[in-house]
Amino acid sequence: MSPRADAVRSRERILAVAREHDARALRLNDVARDAGVGIGTVYRHFPTVHALVEALSVDSLTRLTAAAAAAADEPDSFAALRRFLGVALDLQLHDAGLEAVLTDLARADPAVHSECTAARAEVFAGYATVLTRAQRDGVVRADLSPAQLQRLVCGIEHAVRLGDSADRAVLLDVLLSGIRPASPSRIGTHDAQAALAAAS
């Protein structure tokens, strides 16, 4: 086996073993031991835990980008947003490291894992496309940014993990209801409450 083929095999073995660990508690020493390779081999491929988590999440990022593209074929922009956010939530629940890859941008190093960096950029573009379309149709509040929407999905992920998987549907519905534009009746009620508070 050539040195390059051996290196590819070692990398795939490391990734396979790492997938069996909790991405939120990965330790390179543990991965090296379970993969049957030296710690130096792990560090050559993944110099940090975050680099390893990024590599593990590339497939999820690719699937999330595909979900955004599929949403463009849905005639109803709110239904498209619902479907896309459902996929995003499910991927984050399945891939425990995906949230960190999407939110911890300060630790991202394009030189370490350019494939992940490119995939992450496509995911953010997908969020923007799906959200902008729904805002243009007036079915989502106009002041919500793609970054805020992505963080809201992270919040729902945490809420489901704290509770039960059965909470997923109702919590996703709460999120979707919360990003709807305020109805005239709700605006009137809010204004009346504000006026009462100012008068008291």
Domain CATH code at residue 93:
1.10.357.10
Residue 20's domain spans which residues?
A: 1-46
What is the rounded distance in angstroms from the CA atom of residue 18 to the CA atom of residue 28? 9
- Helix, strand or coil for residue 111? coil
99 and 192 belong to one structural domain: yes
Reading the block at residue 32, the tokens are: 């090296």
- Residue 103 has a pLDDT of 82
Same domain, 32 and 60: no
> What's the whole-model pTM score?
0.76
Into how many domains does the chain fold? Answer: 2
Same domain, 41 and 74: no
Do the Cβ atoms of 88 and 149 come closer than 8 Å? no
pLDDT tens figures, 69-111: 999 889 999 999 999 999 999 999 998 888 888 887 656 656 5
Q: From first to last of its 200 residues, what are the pLDDT tens digits of the chain? A: 565 778 888 889 999 999 888 888 889 999 999 999 999 999 999 988 888 888 888 888 999 999 999 998 899 999 999 999 999 999 999 988 888 888 876 566 565 567 788 888 899 999 999 999 999 999 999 999 999 999 999 999 999 999 989 999 999 999 999 999 987 554 444 554 554 555 54
Q: What is the pLDDT of residue 192?
A: 46
DSSP, collapsed to helix, strand or coil, labels residue 33 as helix
Does 42 share its domain with 104? no
> What type of residue is 101?
V
**Cβ atoms 44, 118 nearer than 8 A:** no
Q: Specify whether 174 is located in the same domain as 93.
A: yes
**Same-domain status, 34 and 73:** no
Decide: 149 and 81 in contact? Cβ < 8 Å.
no
